[in-house]
C-alpha cells in the first residue's frame, strides 16, 4: 500500500454503482463514461477486482460486471489490496547504518532490531489497514445514498438502463442484418 492511486478511487466509485444494480451487470465502458474516465483505464482495474473475487464478469449483450459477494462483506482493504497489491506503506532504506561517523562500518547497536522510524511507519500502516478493513462497501453505499438526492440515484439508474436497452437494440439489429 505504498501509495493509493486514482485507480483505487475510481474502482470504489464504480463498485458503489454495482451495489445499486441489484444483480444487473454494468459494462466497463458504461462505468467509465459515467465516471468520466477512459474505458481502457477501468479495463486495467476490473480484472484485478475479478481476480480478488470482488466482482465477476457476465458475458453477452447485457454483460458487464456484478459484485461477486454481498457489499457488506467487501472491505475497503480488500479493494485496495486487489487494485494496489499488498505493498508496504514505507520501504525502510536502513539509512541508520550509513552515518559518516561510522566510516563504512556501522556498530552492531545501530542495526539491532527494527529501525525506530520504520517501527512508527509499521504502526501507522497497521492502523490504516485496520481502518480500511473496518469499512465495507455496503456501509459506504448506504452513506452515499443518504447524502445523494433521490432523483440523482434514479437518474443514474435510468441512464444505465438506457445504455442496456441501446445495446439490446444494436444486438437485435446485428442479428436481423446477419447473413443467413
**CB 12, CB 138: distance < 8 Å:** no
Confidence of residue 175 (pLDDT cuts 50, 70, 90): low
175 located within any domain: no
**Per-residue pLDDT for 168 more than 70?**
no
166 located within any domain: no
170 HSE (CA, 13 A, CB side): 9
CA dihedral of 18, 20, 24, 25, whole degrees rounded to 10: -20
145 located within any domain: no
143 located within any domain: no
The per-residue pLDDT for 160 is 85
**Per-residue pLDDT for 174 more than 70?**
no
132 located within any domain: yes
pLDDT in tens, 95-111: 888 888 888 888 888 88
Question: What is the radius of gyration, based on Cα positions, of the chain?
Answer: 23
Cα–Cα dist 113/119, whole Å? 10
144 located within any domain: no
The per-residue pLDDT for 80 is 96
Confidence of residue 33 (pLDDT cuts 50, 70, 90): very high
What's the CATH number where 74 sits?
1.10.10.10
Cα–Cα dist 22/1, whole Å? 31
Tell me how many domains the chain contains: 1
**CB 31, CB 156: distance < 8 Å:** no
- Beta-carbon count within 10 A of 75 CB: 19
Q: What is the mean pLDDT of residues 40-51?
A: 96
Q: If we measure between CA atoms, which residue out of 87, 127, 120 comes closest to residue 2?
A: 87
163 located within any domain: no
Q: Provide the domain limits for residue 14.
A: 6-138
Q: Mean pLDDT over all residues of the chain?
A: 87
**CB 28, CB 39: distance < 8 Å:** yes
156 located within any domain: no
The per-residue pLDDT for 101 is 84
pLDDT in tens, 49-100: 999 999 999 887 678 999 999 999 999 999 999 999 988 888 888 888 888 8
Cα–chain-centroid distance for residue 62? 23
Confidence of residue 37 (pLDDT cuts 50, 70, 90): very high
14: helix, coil or strand? helix
User: Maximum distance among all alpha carbons in the chain?
Assistant: 85
Confidence of residue 179 (pLDDT cuts 50, 70, 90): low
Amino acid at each position: 500500500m505504498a501509495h493509493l492511486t486514482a485507480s483505487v478511487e475510481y474502482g470504489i466509485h464504480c463498485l458503489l454503482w454495482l451495489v445499486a444494480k441489484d444483480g444487473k451487470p454494468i459494462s466497463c465502458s458504461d462505468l467509465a463514461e459515467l465516471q468520466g474516465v477512459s474505458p481502457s483505464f477501468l479495463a486495467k482495474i476490473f480484472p484485478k477486482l475479478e481476480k480478488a473475487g470482488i466482482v465477476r464478469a457476465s458475458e453477452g449483450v447485457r454483460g458487464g460486471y456484478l459484485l461477486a459477494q454481498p457489499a457488506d462483506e467487501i472491505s475497503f482493504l480488500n479493494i485496495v489490496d486487489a487494485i494496489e497489491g499488498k505493498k508496504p506503506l514505507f520501504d525502510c532504506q536502513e539509512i541508520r547504518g550509513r552515518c559518516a561517523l561510522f566510516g563504512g562500518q556501522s556498530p552492531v547497536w545501530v542495526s539491532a532490531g527494527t529501525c525506530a522510524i520504520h517501527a512508527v511507519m509499521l504502526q501507522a500502516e497497521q492502523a490504516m489497514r485496520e481502518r480500511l478493513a473496518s469499512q465495507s462497501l455496503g456501509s459506504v453505499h448506504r452513506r452515499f445514498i443518504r447524502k445523494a438526492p433521490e432523483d440523482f440515484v434514479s437518474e443514474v439508474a435510468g441512464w444505465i438502463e438506457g445504455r442496456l436497452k441501446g445495446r439490446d437494440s444494436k444486438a437485435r439489429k446485428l442479428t436481423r442484418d446477419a447473413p443467413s
